[in-house]
Amino acid sequence: MSNHNLFYHGTDGTVEPATSAQILTAAREVLAHRVRRGALLQSPKRVGEYLSTRLGHLDYEIFGLILVDQRHRVIECIDLFRGTLSGASVHPREVVKLALLKGAAACLAYHNHPSGVQDQSQADELITQRLREALALVDVRLLDHLIVTGTGILSFAERGLL
């Protein structure tokens, strides 16, 4: 039983308390609308809210990209690599290939930390540098690398690490 006051309309017209799963599903749909094709990325906070809902509950790592055009409008948000509890292998060649295939002018990298640790690791810093250099060779900018935990977001750009 939940301790909230949210309800949904059943198919038969009845009004019933919403389950936690129904609330989370509805929240994901609302947030996904913020990072949909053509949406303008206005702040790391909005992107972070979306990614927190999408990845914050997972018990394995996901590494992905949000690809954008020259005006920072979303082309696509794609989960590229799936890992384990403690890491995911990221291949810069595949990142560059995807950015070129989708015609991206820039991108934001993201991955989650299932451990809940919100700080970047040395491996996170290294892959960010490698991605930035690889993407620069084909004139695609890496705008940010976001680390998602269940409780927050770390932005490499906001920390001056990019």
Report pLDDT digits (tens) over 52-81. 888 888 889 999 999 999 988 889 999 999
Distance CA 140, CA 99 (A): 8
Q: What are the structural domains of the chain? A: 1-34 (no CATH), 40-155 (3.40.140.10)
Distance CA 92, CA 90 (A): 6
92 pLDDT more than 60: yes
Instruction: Give 35's DSSP letter.
Output: T
Copy the structure tokens of residue 31.
């947030």
Alpha carbons within 13 A on the beta-carbon side of 55: 32
Please tell me the pTM assigned to this model.
0.75
Distance CA 56, CA 122 (A): 21
- Which range among 8-12, 19-23, 36-40, 53-57 shows the weakest confidence by mean pLDDT? 36-40
Distance CA 157, CA 4 (A): 36
The residue-averaged pLDDT of 120-143 equals: 95
